[in-house]
Amino acid sequence: MNLRRTRAIARKEFLHILRDPRSLIMALALPLLMILLFGYALTLDVDRIPTLVYDMDNSMESRELISRFEGSRYFQINGVTDNYSIIEKKIDRDECTLCIAIPQDYSRELHSGRAPQIQLILDGSDSNTASIALGYAQNILESFGQNIRTRAQDRRGGMRLEPPMSGRLRVWYNSDLKSKNYIIPGLIALILMIIGALMTSLTLAREWEMGTMEQLLSTPLRPSEIALGKMSAYFALGIIDMALTIVIGVLIFQVPMRGSYLFLAVTGSLFLVGALLWGILVSALSRSQLMAYQIAMLTSFLPAFLLSGFVFAIENMPLPIQIVTHFFPTRYFVTILKGIFLRGVGMEILYAEVFLLAAYAALVFLFTTKGVSRKVA
């Protein structure tokens, strides 16, 4: 491989990028738009759940229970009702997700030492929100019930009874349990994969459509020089995109950065090389810019979004799908990003993922050179 010829191809691509300001602006603006849009719109936090109250007991204890829900940031009491038909209408109109129905004998059952039955009516059309809301509500009910029984025991026996054991919750790495702290690092991987593949997916296909590929084939350029030359021009843009997304994630979304910026830059560059080479491979296998763009989008966005662990936990997927996820580099880079941002770990923990990223980049480069050589033939 000749470095001079590779540099000449890279210079040619740089000039093409500079002469097409619309593509240049798109390559720089699209990552900003994506991380801001996804960062603000995509959240798994469930709070301020629209809640309705049906209090049939109307006692001091029932009002105290309602005040517990009012004081929780997870629930928003939007009103009270006195019949079930209104509850049904509110749920049908998406004005209510949870209804708390307190029975008439709630306080009497509570003071007698028995467990009163509180009815929780949930809108199950969104099963994820409903299950989370149910968990929050059950925690409040159990805590309040235990508090009432303890106070009653104090009044009867004059002695406070302590439970035989108690658990203290401590959450590491994401103590506030904010979804953006693990969504934003995954977004960086998603954006780099999409932008990298799309930017280079049109390179060789454009050469064929413009009729300039024959001129390249008449030169002593080797397939590896063509691939690396075209990749290096877009690599500089990719580094700028990566830096912009990291700065936005840390400064605007306040994602904690506990690891090494140097390790992040090295692994990000390695992942970016694989993504760019994948786009060149797609372009080498297709002479149509439209087809290359569609294939690049299909093979970059969907796997990166669905099969990387970015949003959906890989451990919860069926076993055949879990096996398929090992063939996509975004899975490994998402793991690296979460390890760097949230846990502050480095090569000593993430060496396997780094090795697999390097192996992917090398394998794609091998297939790319063979794909370009087939075009030459």
Say if residues 77 and 102 touch (Cβ distance below 8 Å). Answer: no
For residue 285, give the nearest of 211, 372, 222, 209 by alpha carbon.
Answer: 372
Strand partners, 49: 75
Per-residue pLDDT, 171: 67
Q: Which residues of the chain have pLDDT under 50?
A: 164-166, 376-377
Instruction: Count CA atoms closer than 13 A to 204's CA, side-chain side.
Output: 32
Q: Is 78 helix (H, G, I), strand (E, B) or coil?
A: strand
For residue 354, give the nearest of 260, 220, 222, 233 by alpha carbon.
Answer: 260
> For residue 10, what are its two tokens?
């890279």
Work out the number of other CB atoms within 10 angstroms of the CB of residue 269. 15
Say if residues 188 and 249 touch (Cβ distance below 8 Å). Answer: yes
CATH number of the domain located at residue range(s) 49-157 in this protein: 3.40.1710.10
Burial of 129 (0-12, 13-18, 19+ CB in 10 A): middle
Residue-range domain boundaries for the chain = 7-43+178-376, 49-157
Please tell me the distance from the alpha carbon of residue 306 to that of residue 186, in angstroms, as a whole number: 11
Widest pairwise Cα distance in the chain: 98
Which strands form 119-122's sheet, in the order they lie side by side? 75-80, 49-55, 98-102, 119-122
Instruction: Count CA atoms closer than 13 A to 189's CA, side-chain side.
Output: 33
| Rg value, the chain, Cα | 29
Burial of 73 (0-12, 13-18, 19+ CB in 10 A): exposed
Please tell me the distance from the alpha carbon of residue 110 to that of residue 148, in angstroms, as a whole number: 8
> For residue 107, what are its two tokens?
């306080």
Please tell me the distance from the alpha carbon of residue 240 to that of residue 341, in angstroms, as a whole number: 19
> For residue 242, what are its two tokens?
């990566």
CA distances from 334 to 150, 185, 284, 318, 343 (A): 47, 7, 27, 20, 13
Per-residue pLDDT, 159: 53
DSSP 263: H
Residues, the chain, total? 377
Distance of CA 212 to the CA centre of its chain: 41
> For residue 94, what are its two tokens?
């998406």
Please tell me the distance from the alpha carbon of residue 277 to that of residue 367, in angstroms, as a whole number: 9
